[in-house]
Amino acid sequence: MPTQIDIPVLADAILEAANHFNWLRRQGRSEKEDAAARAEVVAAVRALYDADVRALRDRAVAAGRVEAVVLALDQVEQANGALLTDAYSPLGDPSRAEFDADALETLRVATLRLRAAEAAAGPGRPPPPPPSRLTFDDQRQVVTLDGEEYLVGDAAAYRVYRTIADAGLPGITKARISLKVPGTAGRKTVPRLITKLPKTLEQTIDRGGAGFRIRLP
């Protein structure tokens, strides 16, 4: 995938615990032994469920993992879903006296495939970066902040705001802004243009020792 969660290790724990429980059932061991072994299976199944295989599968798709990895994760998720049903059912009914053999076999095979697919696939490509909170449409003089569009009615005010945003940290001084935006020279010009911005955008401008910078809420 790769991931901090080792899905094959969790799946192996389920297989070991469930096979042990099934063996005890076939041997006709005591209810106390059954209950203890069943608790181990429930804990193992729950650990894999809590790992959220479906979310890991979605991240694998986003990261461009090969189809074999995604398919194996699908099979792991499907098998664990069947075992989860068994884990929380009475299992006293003779027809459900053991954990489902088909689900266990699916889990075993899917785990082997996942290990092989991950080894063959390598690290994959990194997921795409999150979208920028602040974007600009120079033609319309529109600033978009967190999906909300703000029309800046003054062309000079728009260019000043964009210049400050493009400067990043630690900030940009009035003198440097005036070099980049014609007609903004003068001690009070930049501050006056900033007041022409929509209030939400104006409030994102921080005035510090290094000059002006954008500080998003």
The pLDDT value given to residue 141? 95
Q: Check residue 91 and give its pLDDT.
A: 55
Which range among 30-39, 89-98, 103-112, 208-217 shows the weakest confidence by mean pLDDT? 89-98
Tell whether the model's pLDDT for residue 4 goes beyond 50. Answer: no
Per-residue pLDDT reduced to its tens digit, 169-182: 778 988 889 989 99
Question: What's the token pair of residue 9?
Answer: 């290790």
Structure tokens at 129: 């970066």
CB atoms within 10 A of CB 164: 24
CA dihedral 142, 145, 148, 153 (to 10 degrees): -30
- DSSP-derived 3-state class of residue 143: strand
Mean predicted confidence (pLDDT) in 141-154:
94
Predicted structure pTM score: 0.43
Is the pLDDT reported for residue 130 higher than 90? no
pLDDT the model gives residue 195 = 95
What digits encode the pLDDT tens for the residues 30-39?
Answer: 777 767 777 7
d(CA 26, CA 62): 44
Any idea what DSSP says for residue 217?
-
pLDDT exceeding 90 applies to what percent of the chain?
Answer: 24
Mean residue pLDDT across the chain: 77
Please say if the pLDDT value at position 3 is more than 50.
Answer: no
Work out the number of other CB atoms within 10 angstroms of the CB of residue 33: 14
Which tokens belong to 105?
A: 């076999």
Backbone angles phi, psi at 208, to 5 degrees: -125, -170
pLDDT at 67: 67
Query: Which of 8-12, 65-69, 135-139 is predicted most confidently?
Result: 135-139
pLDDT tens for each residue of 8-54:
777 787 778 778 877 877 777 777 776 777 777 777 777 776 766 66
The answer to whether residues 42 and 80 touch, using CB atoms and an 8 Å cutoff, is no
Q: Which residue has the higher pLDDT, 77 or 175?
A: 175
Render pLDDT for 182-207 as a digit per residue (tens, 0 to 9). Answer: 999 888 999 999 999 999 999 999 98
Pick from 2-11, 65-74, 85-94, 203-212 the range whose average pLDDT is largest: 203-212
